């Protein structure tokens, strides 16, 4: 198979998994799955942490569920470049959404932050998953934790796209440093 066919197959699988996950979530009525809430982004700490506010003024720190982006702290230059790139990608996604985000809380982390899936309205009816965007660009990797994200399968498939394309953290020169 040609590489472009493989990418097409992977993208089709992601779309199918996302539709399946939405269908399952719509049929379940579990108290542990919170409804989507609309928030305004006020700050981006790094590639997987943001602060959001509602119109009533309440604020919340959010860790993006299911992913781990390189941290912005002293370290090797290539890792810092990827950390900066992840933060910039998140800022661009937020700006494209006019700072209006949909937050799907899943749990709280040990620091009291909400662990949530974060997305925005895309063109038409499509929603843009911030986690998937970061993963398929190689700016984060999936995180295995006790928190189960509703779209974890789609996240893993997005990561597979970046791996196959050797993007970001999956670039050979970056792999040697992680």
Model confidence at 144, in pLDDT bands (50, 70, 90)? Answer: confident
Query: What range does the domain containing 39 cover?
Result: 3-175
Query: What angle separates helix 152-165 from helix 3-27, to the nearest 10 degrees?
Result: 170
Query: What whole-number distance in Å separates Cα of residue 57 and Cα of residue 67?
Result: 28
Q: What is the pLDDT of residues 4-44, one digit of tens each?
A: 677 667 766 676 555 655 554 454 333 343 456 789 999 99
Query: What whole-number distance in Å separates Cα of residue 144 and Cα of residue 34?
Result: 21
**Comparison of pLDDT for 155 and 1, the residue scoring more:** 155
Answer yes or no: is pLDDT of 60 > 90.
Answer: yes
Query: What whole-number distance in Å separates Cα of residue 140 and Cα of residue 82?
Result: 9
Question: Residue 29 has what pLDDT?
Answer: 38
Counting residues of the chain whose pLDDT is more than 90, the rounded percentage is 56
**Residue 150 belongs to a domain with what CATH number?**
2.40.50.90
Predicted model pTM: 0.76
**Comparison of pLDDT for 87 and 5, the residue scoring more:** 87
Count of domains forming the chain: 1
Query: What whole-number distance in Å separates Cα of residue 103 and Cα of residue 95?
Result: 16
């Amino acid at each position: 198979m040609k590489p472009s066919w493989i990418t097409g197959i992977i993208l089709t699988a992601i779309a199918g998994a996302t539709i399946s996950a939405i269908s399952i979530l719509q049929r379940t009525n579990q108290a542990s799955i919170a409804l989507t809430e609309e928030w305004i982004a006020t700050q981006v700490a790094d590639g997987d942490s943001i602060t959001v506010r509602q119109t009533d003024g309440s604020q919340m720190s959010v860790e993006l569920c299911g992913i781990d982006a390189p941290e912005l702290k002293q370290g090797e230059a290539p890792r810092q470049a990827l950390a900066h790139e992840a933060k910039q990608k998140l800022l661009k996604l937020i700006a494209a959404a006019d700072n209006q985000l949909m937050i799907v809380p899943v749990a709280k982390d040990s620091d009291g932050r909400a662990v949530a899936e974060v997305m925005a309205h895309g063109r038409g009816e499509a929603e843009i998953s911030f986690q998937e965007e970061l993963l398929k660009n190689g700016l984060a990797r999936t995180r295995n934790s006790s928190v189960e994200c509703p779209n974890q399968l789609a996240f893993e498939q997005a990561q597979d796209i970046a791996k196959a394309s050797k993007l970001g953290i999956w670039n050979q020169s970056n792999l040697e440093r992680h």
